[in-house]
Structures are given as C-alpha cells and as structure tokens.
Amino acid sequence: MAENRDSAQGEADRLAALDPRQKHVLRIRALLAGLVPLAMLAIGDVILNRELGFSLGWGIGLGIALYLFSVLLLPGRRYRRWGYRTGERAIRIASGLLVRRETVVPYDRVQHIDVSRGPIERAFGVATLTLHTAGSYNSTVDLPGLAIADANRMRDAIRAHIGQDLA
C-alpha cells in the first residue's frame, strides 16, 4: 500500500527511461514522416512562384527549417518525456511533449497484451508493449521503446498477474 505513496513526489525522475535506442527509432520515423510535408511545401513553393510571383525559396526554406527541427531536436525531447514504472499492482506510463499524459493501468484490468515490433523497431532491437483495457477511453495503452527482452519479461509478468486474479 505504502509503496505507491512516493508517487506523489516528482514524476519523471522516479520513472524508468526507455531504451536509448528508441531515440533512433523516433528520429528515423520523423525523417520519413517529414518527407511528405517537405515535398508538398516544395511543390507549393513552385506554384506560388509561378502563379502569384512570390520569390522562390520561401516555402522550401520554411519546410527545411521545420524538417530539421523535427528530425534533430524533437525526437530527443519526446524521448525524454517518456517514462514508465511497474508497481506491484499497476503500471504507470508518462509521455507527451505539449500535452503531457500520465496513465495508470492496474494489472487486473488488462484484457490482453501485445508485443509488437515494426521494421524500424526490429532494426534497433526494441519493441512496443500494448495493453488493452475494457475502457472505451484508453482502450489501448502503448509503451514503446522497450528492449525486446524487457518487453517480453513485462508481458509475462503482467500475464501472470491476470492469471492470479482469475484464480
């Protein structure tokens, strides 16, 4: 009972960080996801230049600036906002850069658990743990960036909890 009391003091410092390799995963995702908006801004640049006589380079300049920001700076910050802690009865997961979220899921409310690995995650040896609850809000809670061994261990531990509660 008392072990949760300390949760009131500070958040990020008491939470475990994700696997550092997750930073690379986030960066590569940003690298790929930014390509489409970048291309659109480049096309917009040309159109604005031809149709309305804007000088060339405004759109693409803005695009490159945003792209660099999202690839170089954002992934590190987002990575630092993530954290988790597995308590005795529940798991706590924090995330979010602008809107910050901190979710608590008691183990006995978990319906089922997924461990998934996309191609980028596979390349870096990390996995995403997804908890499914019966609630319509938070029906799935993701915890990305776990070393594959950790993810499997946590899945088994939570599954053991579910089993205990049923018995």
Angle, in degrees to the nearest 10, between helices 21-33 and 35-47: 30
Alpha-carbon distance of 37 to 134, in angstroms, equals 36
Q: What CA–CA distances, in Å, run from 119 to 22, 116, 122, 128, 161? A: 13, 10, 5, 12, 30
Judged by CB under 8 A, which stretch of 44-52, 63-71, 85-93, 112-120 contacts another protein? 85-93
Sign of torsion over alpha carbons 109, 144, 137, 95: positive
Alpha-carbon distance of 151 to 116, in angstroms, equals 9
Of 132 and 159, nearer to another protein (C-beta) is 132
Q: Applying CB under 8 A, which of residues 14, 77, 80, 101 lies at the interface with another protein?
A: 101
Q: How far is the CB of 111 from another protein (least distance, A)?
A: 9
Judged by CB under 8 A, which stretch of 20-28, 32-40, 47-55, 99-107 contacts another protein? 99-107
What's the DSSP call for residue 94?
Answer: E
Of 18 and 93, nearer to another protein (C-beta) is 93
Site string for another protein, 11-50 (x = CB under 8 A): x---------------------------------------
Binding residues for another protein (CB under 8 A):
1, 4-5, 7-8, 11, 87, 89-90, 98-106, 109, 133-139, 141
